Amino acid sequence: MLAPKFWYPENNEKSFSSLALIPFGHIYSLLSKLRMSKAVKKQFDIPIVCIGNLNAGGTGKTPTTISAAEFLRDRKYNVHIVSRGYGGNAMGPLSVNDTEHSADDVGDEALMLSAFAPTWVATKRSDGIQSAIKEGADIILLDDGFQDPSVYKDLSILTVNAKKGFGNNRCIPAGPLREKLSNGLERADVLISIGTETSQRTFKSIYKSYINMPLGIATLEVLNTGLS
């Protein structure tokens, strides 16, 4: 699904549609905050690292998960990835096998992730984590799940597209944010900005007053997964 143009206005152009939806964005933000404050977080005996985002849509989250998996694997960690399997039909917990499963089963992102580390699809993330632990995982990467309050995260990493930033800084449906910007950044441990040098400079100039955490800078590269 394409994001509405008013989520990412050019030159701070005002949009009647976005302004009209602001009250609904406030309601979405309040409900999101309430849901996260009321949930009981399940803790596990191994580190849980969440790689998520504040924006609806792509921000480079999955490539960052792949990079983190390779980093940990090269250091001899038995890293497993847990995903909700968006776009797939499987409820899980299911260990993704690219010779047995298709994108219709587990979603295209989970299928791609499985080329880099053992990957589990589970509608309930805690079930996927438990299955991974039974199979010997000593660290878990959550692909998405920053807004899932049911799992305790030892480290939360946010990714953002440096060119798009946080759009008009409004919550769904008035803007792209899944929660209020200040609330999300307060809960995160690390922010990774992904894009060109020019985009990075622009991003820093706009958001430097918001960011009180380590800021990583990254670019995307094409990788050969071996998947057709």
Residue with tokens 């298709």: 102
Peptide bond into 93 cis (omega under 30): yes
Identity of residue 197: E
Question: In whole angstroms, what is the distance from residue 90 CA to residue 84 CA?
Answer: 9
- Which pLDDT belongs to residue 98? 86
Mean pLDDT, the chain cut into blocks of 10 residues (228 residues total): 84 82 94 83 94 89 94 97 85 87 86 93 94 97 92 96 94 95 94 95 92 91 61
pLDDT given for residue 66 in this prediction: 94
pLDDT of residue 142: 96
Cα–Cα distance for residue pair 46/101, rounded to 1 Å: 28
CA separation for the pair 223, 76 (Å, rounded): 21
Q: Which amino acid is present at 186? A: E
**The 3-state secondary structure of 23-52, one letter per residue:** HHHHHHHHHHHHHHHHCCCECCCCCEEEEE
Q: What is the pLDDT of residue 226?
A: 54
Q: What is the pLDDT of residue 103?
A: 84
**Strands across the sheet with 155-161, in order?**
94-95, 119-121, 79-83, 139-143, 48-52, 155-161, 190-194, 215-218
pLDDT score recorded for residue 16: 83
- Does domain 16-218 fall under CATH 3.30.70? My reply is no
| Closest C-alpha among 142, 148, 128, 172 to residue 68 | 142
pTM: 0.88
pLDDT at 38: 76
- Residue 106 has what pLDDT? 86
